[in-house]
Amino acid sequence: MGPEAKFYKEIKKSLPEISWNRLENNSLLGTPDLLGYNNSGHFFTVELKVTKGKKIRFSPHQIAFHVKHPNNSFIMIKALGPLSPNTSPISMFHGSRVRELATRGLELEACYSGLDACRLAIERVGSKA
């Protein structure tokens, strides 16, 4: 099992209130790894990335997907390497920031840091609050 598959299992176990579907799509290149559905009745996508360093690798198709679909799309990253103090190993970015993330990697400040913050953000997708 690869690192992203292990990360998916961790997310699915830690966030059971979200209905998760893993997308295995060889036809539409760049499609994110996960389709989620929250208790507010809204869908969102999550691209999973696991890295040992600060650089995050994206295919041109993945970048194009997030540029074309900037709303309700996220990139969730698990850092395996050494972290600076007060840095969570799990962070999440809005899909609209894919170009910045591709350029700056984990030097870019995360929109959400830690699994709890990520959970709260995706639970709020579609809510008016």
Mean pLDDT of all residues belonging to the chain: 91
Look at residue 86 and tell me whether its pLDDT is greater than 80: no
Look at residue 53 and tell me whether its pLDDT is greater than 90: no
Mean pLDDT, rounded, for 84-100: 88
- Answer with the residue of higher pLDDT: 14 or 83: 14
**What span, in angstroms and rounded, lies between the C-alpha atoms of 44 and 71?**
8
Mean pLDDT, rounded, for 29-56: 94
